A and B are shown apart, each in its own frame.
Chain A
Amino acid sequence: MASLLRNSGKITTTAGLIARPGFQGGRGFGLSSFSLFFSSPRRFQTTESESRVDSHCYDDEISQKFSVLGGKVPYTSGMRFTSELPEEKVPCYRVLDNNGQLIDSRNFAGISKEIAMKMYTDMVKLNTMDTIFYEAQRQGRISFYVTTTGEEAINIASAAALKIDDFIVPQYREPGILLWRGFTPQDFANQCFSNKFDDGKGRQMPVHYGSKKLNYFTVASTIASQLPHAVGAAYSLKMDGKDACVVGYFGDGGSSEGDFHAALNFAAVLEAPVIFLCRNNGWAISTPASDQFRSDGVVVKGQAYGVRSIRVDGNDALAMYSAVRSAREMAITEQKPILIEAVTYRVGHHTTSDDSTRYRPLEEIEWWQMARNPLTLYRKWLESNGWWNDEAEAELRSNSRKELLKAIQVAEKIEKPPVGDMFTDVYDAVPSNLFEQEKLLQQTVTRYPQDYPSDVPVRAVPSS
């Protein structure tokens, strides 16, 4: 694997699904981590303590009195600082090798042919939608677009591992979950074209999807601010005794925001059934992970907050499916949060307003697209099961393309929402100041219609 976690070099992969336990207060910090200190070239402990590393002890009287660290803590006469980095990087769980073949057939969740096929179909549809909508933006038909290219496995496999009762609190690069849950190409197109069938009433930029029906909170452009919402929503599920969890998605850049840290801490303390799913794609617009954090990625931050965590190969659909399914199970049965760091790569630009070749080499993008393409890897596994072939591929791609092209052709002909929709939903009812402003606006537009978009209907406001 190329140096995706740029600051930390290569990470190992593992075929075993190992969740890292959260901090267990009762066990103390001691013995198991001592070896780390000796491996460091720098000195960050007293010299005399080296010969007395085992002299730590538990002071029962004090630890019974004060529980600030949540249990017994060993005392030691040696002054030691903990290392800034663990001796070994957290391994990355994967199921498929670079040729799309199983590394170890025992270490992943069983998956039916039906689900496996739908996963691939939706990954291809998502990929096709990105291509067509991206082109539509380049042609000036929509104002903006965000592709998910390279992250199709994270999108679709995580969606497949969840249930419809699980709430999704998205960032903005997870439309695949909506697709999996039944959002149609026409629904996507209506939102991107801001027509009157956009559930968001044309108020937000393209890709800011949301669906009450599909338990998918509306996307906001803000970064990581959705994560505390995920905890609050999960707490509600907990109190209602629901067999469901909340999944909050975010990126590597988002892990630097205060809201990320607030959310993990709240989730741990309030024991909320929430999965934090980080798409570590290496880039926050032009900022590489090496300029984002100095830790071993995002996964290690979980343990600091007492949150069980795992690092997964985000381009391996089967690994993603297995990890999210297990995380869901643990979050619900144990009523606690789980952190997943899905290691991937943002193959597309940040958005259509970005040209990523200005800050990263083309070869790097191409390598990920060719050698670590999540669709290709997964397709090889399907083919080895005899479930897929070139013919099926050609038919699926052709049909998807036609369906999406038709969707945008339809969407762009539908009129925009009426101007009156600008004034509703600010509050549950329109207050008098907004009523007054709407009336004034309507008079202005009636007088100068040439200065306003002709495809936005302006209806008369009844006088009060």
Chain B
Amino acid sequence: MASVLGRYGRKWSLGCVSYHKNHLPRFSTVTHSAVPSEPIQQQQAGRSMNLYSAINQALHIALESDSRSYVFGEDVGFGGVFRCTTGLAERFGKHRVFNTPLCEQGIVGFAIGLAAMDNRAVAEIQFADYIFPAFDQIVNEAAKFRYRSGGQFNCGGLTIRAPYGAVGHGGHYHSQSPEAFFCHVPGIKVVIPRSPSQAKGLLLSSIRDQNPVVFFEPKWLYRLSVEEVPEHDYMLPLSEAEVIREGSDITLVGWGAQLSIMEQACIDAEKEGISCELIDLKTLIPWDKETVEASVSKTGRLLVSHEAPITGGFGAEISASIVERCFLRLEAPVSRVCGLDTPFPLVFEPFYMPNKNKVSRKYWFPKICVTTWCSSASWQLVFG
């Protein structure tokens, strides 16, 4: 599957994709051209790499820097179906990097036991779509391990990596974004990176964090997203959102692959004279309410966007929290642009996706205070 990823341009972000001489798709997020990540670049010049290579580098560093760290999962030994674990078994040995039987509850349960013995256990679930057999282990075991023991035991060294989200051809079971299920579970952290350099820094933080972390990797960006990634060992803080584009009219909040869509919408909006502030939440729980609150207090408008179905999605939580905190400063209803409430559909994926058209259309509405965005009649009234 990984090999075909490169063939799929993300239709709605073609503006971001340019091609080098070697024909490798280069994904330069506007994030980094607009707001360079200075702290990283100051430390050390980076090397251009894609997201799976950045993950691979983070895993190398994690295994190198801590002899009590382990990486395992289905097909991990030969490098993984997305190549994220390439070269690890050869370098660190088959006792530290290994295949497991095909059993997600076993992988996570085993990882909890390993982490409980003061190890860093990095478990790979091959696709987020297949994480559900391990749901009980995550929800009832990992999340409560410290709490139920009164702090005597913990499995804080546990990190569960799983590729998530649309990929252009994944259908029901290679496309889902299940992050909201895990955001309802006190005791775990949920982290989703947007780009290679973010992925490396956030993964190293997740592995070294003293709490179990579910780390969702945007599989569409594994090969597509390419940027300068510092070679050295660095960590990016968890539970800290980042304003990646400043603006004054509306705040857009998202995470992972969806940010590239939202950035395109921001660029389009700018041409229309609308100034968008874009926030990458990065950590979904515990999430950085304060940064979002400060931004919405300034702009007076909020739009949240995610690939997962809208109903019960994490966007609902953000909306409710911000309405509670910013009600008197809001100048328009909070908007959500999300996946539809259907199973993820193969041939209808372009229609299902919360693409930049849907985002652009939606943020106009809070701007002009139209309440029902989905009414085509009112849409025509506004835009003719």
Residue numbers of A with Cβ under 8 A of B are: 167, 169, 198-201, 203-204, 208, 210-212, 217-218, 220, 222, 225-237, 239, 246, 258-259, 262-263, 265-266, 269-270, 424-428, 431-434
Contacts and interface: CB of A to CB of B under 8 A. Distances in A.
11 contacts: A203-B147, A210-B153, A218-B148, A218-B149, A228-B113, A228-B137, A229-B109, A239-B96, A258-B133, A266-B101, A426-B186
B140 interface: yes
A23 to B, nearest CB: 15
B264 interface: no
B150 A262 contact: no
A418 to B, nearest CB: 13
A279 to B, nearest CB: 20
Q: Assign chain B's interface to a size class.
A: 35 or more
A415 B113 CA distance: 33
B100 interface: yes
Interface stretch (B5-13, B22-30, B114-122, B170-178): B114-122
Contacts, number: 151
Contact of B113 (A233, A258, A265): A233
A263 B189 CA distance: 25
Contacts of B113: 169, 228-236, 246
Nearest to A240: B117
Nearest to B145: A218
Interface in B67-104: 95-96, 98, 100-101, 103
A211 B152 contact: yes
Interface string B202-223: 0000000011000000000000
B109 A425 contact: no
B109 A262 contact: yes
Contact of A217 (B116, B140, B186): B116
Interface string B104-136: 011011111111111101000000000001001
A265 B103 contact: yes
Given A225-B137, A262-B106, A236 B210 contact: no
B149 A232 contact: no
B146 A263 contact: no
A246 B113 CA distance: 10
Question: 9 smallest A-B Cβ distances: which pairs?
Answer: A228-B109, A232-B113, A262-B106, A229-B113, A236-B117, A232-B114, A431-B286, A218-B149, A428-B210
A167 B117 CA distance: 10
A267 to B, nearest CB: 9
A270 B111 CA distance: 13
A266 B106 contact: yes
B150 A201 contact: yes
A220 B143 CA distance: 12
A218 to B, nearest CB: 4
A239 B149 CA distance: 25
B290 interface: yes
B110 A266 contact: yes
Contacts of A198: 150
B117 A233 contact: yes
A265 B102 CA distance: 10
B187 interface: yes
A232 B111 contact: yes
B103 A200 contact: no
B103 A262 contact: yes
Contacts of A265: 101, 103, 106
A247 to B, nearest CB: 13
Nearest to A239: B95
A199 B140 CA distance: 19
Contacts of B110: 228-229, 231-232, 235, 266, 270
Contacts of B384: none
Given A198-B150, A232-B109, 5 more contacts: A211-B152, A217-B116, A232-B116, A263-B106, A428-B156
